[in-house]
């Protein structure tokens, strides 16, 4: 009687590998992170619990006046929204075989134009908020679509062009912010009008102060939209076909150039929404000359989510939890805040081995099948 490897059984279902393998990688990284924390002489369980407390998943021992667990959780959701948008932007690009490393620049450009035209206006909220979203989608889509056009028309690497555009966007926006609407005290742009903000600041719910992000609802809808686009539509099939094999896709009659430009425009539109929720939501201002690190973290987050829209939701929640809980872990347990970055790096390191894990699981399954055929050459039943 052949004994089945439980790990192969658990991870071998190809239908669920988009979820099971990243979870397995996360568990390995948590174990590795625990060893690092133990070497520092701290309790890993206490450290991980403090991260969850800092992100608002579980209650703290005490809170400052007017705040509570809901305050921390809505702050977590406020930071989660742009991460989801940015990681989805990376995912769409990856599926088309494109590496959109310009997410940070597209975020900044979309946030800049939305701030410039709406953020400082006197428009009522029912006009200002939809306009912020519309401008962000348009600007982000056009910026990334230009990169897609350069890729198609002149075969210019999207990595090179997006890196160059990132710097150009950072310098040009920095000039205008410092020249026209910089705050002399904070040295950042002036705060936007509350009517244009995608985060409802300083609300009171059951006497507890919260910042309620509108963007989190939009981000979840965007993830469902990208899932439907990639797996239920002809355009999604064409995007994945071009990403898998351009020659085969062209032979099948798919327009490579059109698909590349459209995929990059969708990616840029999502990056624009990330910029809107980041600059006109989470922070409500812009720091001149600085590209948001979130734009680069989104690349790793998408990889952790196995480039699957639903996996991106879970991966974004995990990475944002580690980021938001790091400060409280540092003050509560005495573990330096940078350890959360180490744990995040370990998660991404293990998740990067997903292809290798999938290969090893496939080999093990094949070996089990071959042994079964040797033991029962005529297809007889096992004893």
Q: Please write the tens of the pLDDT for every residue from 268-277.
A: 999 999 999 9
> What domains lie within the chain, and their CATH numbers?
71-333 (1.10.3470.10)
DSSP structural state of residue 190: P
Check whether 309 has a pLDDT greater than 90: yes
pLDDT higher than 50, residue 10: yes
Arithmetic mean of pLDDT, 216-221: 97
- Does residue 2 have a pLDDT over 70? no
Q: Between these two residues, 81 and 30, which has the higher pLDDT value?
A: 81
111 pLDDT more than 80: yes
Q: What is the chain's alpha carbon radius of gyration, rounded to the nearest angstrom?
A: 23
Here the tokens at position 362 are 């496939």
Question: Binning pLDDT at 50, 70 and 90, where does residue 332 land?
Answer: confident
pLDDT above 90 as % of the chain: 60
Please tell me the predicted confidence (pLDDT) of residue 350: 77
CB atoms within 10 A of CB 170: 18
Residues 6+ apart with CB under 8 A from 191: 183, 284, 285
Beta bridge partners of 209: 204
Strands 208-213 and 199-205: antiparallel
Choice between 196 and 3, residue whose per-residue pLDDT is larger: 196
152-196: per-residue pLDDT in tens? 999 999 999 999 999 999 999 999 999 999 988 888 999 999 999
**pLDDT confidence bin for 101, thresholds 50/70/90:** very high
Question: What are the residues whose beta carbons fall under 8 Å from the beta carbon of 362, sequence distance 6 or more?
Answer: 12
Count other Cβ atoms within 10 Å, centred on residue 252. Answer: 11
Q: How far apart are CA 320 and CA 304, in angstroms?
A: 13
- The reported pTM is 0.90
Pairwise CA distance, residues 342 & 325, whole Å: 14
What confidence tier does 382 reach under pLDDT thresholds 50, 70, 90?
A: very low
pLDDT of 1 strictly over 50: no
Give the largest Cα separation in the chain, rounded.
Answer: 84
Mean pLDDT of 242-264: 94
pLDDT, position 383: 40
pLDDT-derived band of residue 42, with 50, 70 and 90 as boundaries?
confident
Lowest model confidence (mean pLDDT) among 58-62, 131-135, 166-170, 362-366: 362-366
Per residue in 241-250, pLDDT (tens digit) is 999 999 999 9
The number of helix segments (H) and strand segments (E) in the chain equals 15, 2
The predicted pLDDT at position 346 comes to 79
d(CA 165, CA 291): 11
> Using CB atoms within 10 A of its CB, is residue 78 exposed (0-12), middle (13-18) or buried (19+)?
buried
CA atoms within 13 A on the CB side of 289: 5
| Cα distance between residue 155 and residue 223, in whole Å | 30
Band the pLDDT of 362: cuts 50, 70, 90: confident
And the tokens for 209? 């102060």
Residue that wins the pLDDT comparison between 53 and 33: 53
Going by the DSSP 8-state scheme, the letter that residue 64 receives in this structure is: -
């Amino acid at each position: 009687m052949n004994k089945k490897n439980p790990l192969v059984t658990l991870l071998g279902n190809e239908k669920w590998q988009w979820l099971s393998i990243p979870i397995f990688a996360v568990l390995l990284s948590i174990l590795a992170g625990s060893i690092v924390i133990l070497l520092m002489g701290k309790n890993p369980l206490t450290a991980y619990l403090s991260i969850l407390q800092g992100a608002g998943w579980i209650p703290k021992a005490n809170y400052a006046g007017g705040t509570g667990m809901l305050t921390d959780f809505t702050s977590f959701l406020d930071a989660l929204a742009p991460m989801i948008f940015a990681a989805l932007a990376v995912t769409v690009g990856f599926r088309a075989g494109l590496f959109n490393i310009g997410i940070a620049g597209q975020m900044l450009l979309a946030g800049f134009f939305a701030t410039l035209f709406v953020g400082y206006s006197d428009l009522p909220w029912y006009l200002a908020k939809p306009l912020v979203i519309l401008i962000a989608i348009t600007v982000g889509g056009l910026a990334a679509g230009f990169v897609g056009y350069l890729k198609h028309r002149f075969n210019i690497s999207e990595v090179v062009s997006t890196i160059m555009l990132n710097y150009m966007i950072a310098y040009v926006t920095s000039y205008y912010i410092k020249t026209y609407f910089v705050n002399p005290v904070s040295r950042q742009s002036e705060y936007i009008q509350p009517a244009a903000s995608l985060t409802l600041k300083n609300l009171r719910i059951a006497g507890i102060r919260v910042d309620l992000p509108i963007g989190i609802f939009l981000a979840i809808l965007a993830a469902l939209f990208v899932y439907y686009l990639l797996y239920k539509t002809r355009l999604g099939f064409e995007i994945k076909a071009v990403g898998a094999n351009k020659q085969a896709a062209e032979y099948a009659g798919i327009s490579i150039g059109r698909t590349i430009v459209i995929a990059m425009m969708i990616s840029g539109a999502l990056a624009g929404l990330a910029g809107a929720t980041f600059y006109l939501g989470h922070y409500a201002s812009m720091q001149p000359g600085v590209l948001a690190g979130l734009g680069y973290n989104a690349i790793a987050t998408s990889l952790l989510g196995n480039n699957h829209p639903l996996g991106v939701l879970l991966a974004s929640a995990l990475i944002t939890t580690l980021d938001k809980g790091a400060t409280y872990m540092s003050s509560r347990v005495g573990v330096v805040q940078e350890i959360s970055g180490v744990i995040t790096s370990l998660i991404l390191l293990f998740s990067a081995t997903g292809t290798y894990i999938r290969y090893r699981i496939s080999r093990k399954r094949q070996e089990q099948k071959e042994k079964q055929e040797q033991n029962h050459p005529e297809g007889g039943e096992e004893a």
